[in-house]
Amino acid sequence: MNPNDCSSNLWVFGYGSLCWLQGFDYGSHQLGFIRGFSRKFWQGNNSHRGTTDKPGRVATLVKEDEAITWGLAFELLGETALKYLNDRECTKGGYETLITTFFPRNGVMTPFPVLVFRATEHNPQWLGPAPLADVATQVTECKGEAGHNSEYVLRLAEFFRDNLPEVIDEHLFTLEQLVLERMKEKNISSVEDEPVTQAKQEVLSLAEAAEPVNNPNQEVRRDSFQYLSRVPPSKKLLCLKV
């Protein structure tokens, strides 16, 4: 098969936590974008990043004709990967699926179809638009089985700075800055200070167990969670513990 032709393989497009915490086996992966959607933190989450009483906010894709959304596409290996994603995104998150065209960043591979998981206003956990200042407050107050909601936002922003520094996502980066400001106000310098619950350990174990041996360059999730460097000098966080 032509290595630049991905039409015969099943790929999934990650634009949220899949960018930095996969949890499934995959072969190749490519940076790139899809058209016709924008990334918004309009989807509620009452399991991984929140609870029923205090749902967190996670990313979804909202139709917008002229928009593009950057992210990371993964070539799925075996049925287990798809089953894991269906459970993670559809069963627990209520996300719908669609197929759209992915445009690789490398400019060598031809565009190819990808599977996308997306929440809409029909999702029972849908929260919809809100002022980003309010979203940031909600994010810093919520945590679930996988950890603090703040971690979701900050790691996603970090992924883009490390891997796609030319991409400016105003919605994401504005929310990141507001979350950091809320963390400063609450004297929080880390969201990794709480004990690791059994549920969170299971999530992390899945990710570690699924790390493919044929991806020697795959980024491993770091144990530390240091974001002081993201805050301007005048906004350094003052305390080391929650």
Choice among 89, 151, 158, 176 that is catalytic: 89
Sort residue 128 into left (φ over 0), alpha (ψ -120 to 50) or beta. left
Instruction: Output b/e per residue, 22-57; b: 16+ Cβ within 10 A.
Output: bbbbbeebbebbbeebbbbbbbbbbbbbbeeeebbb
Asked if 192 is an active-site residue, the reply is no
Tokens 């995959």 locate to 26
* Type of residue numbered 66: E
Q: Rounded CA gap, 76 and 225, in Å?
A: 28
Q: Which residues are identified as catalytic? A: 89
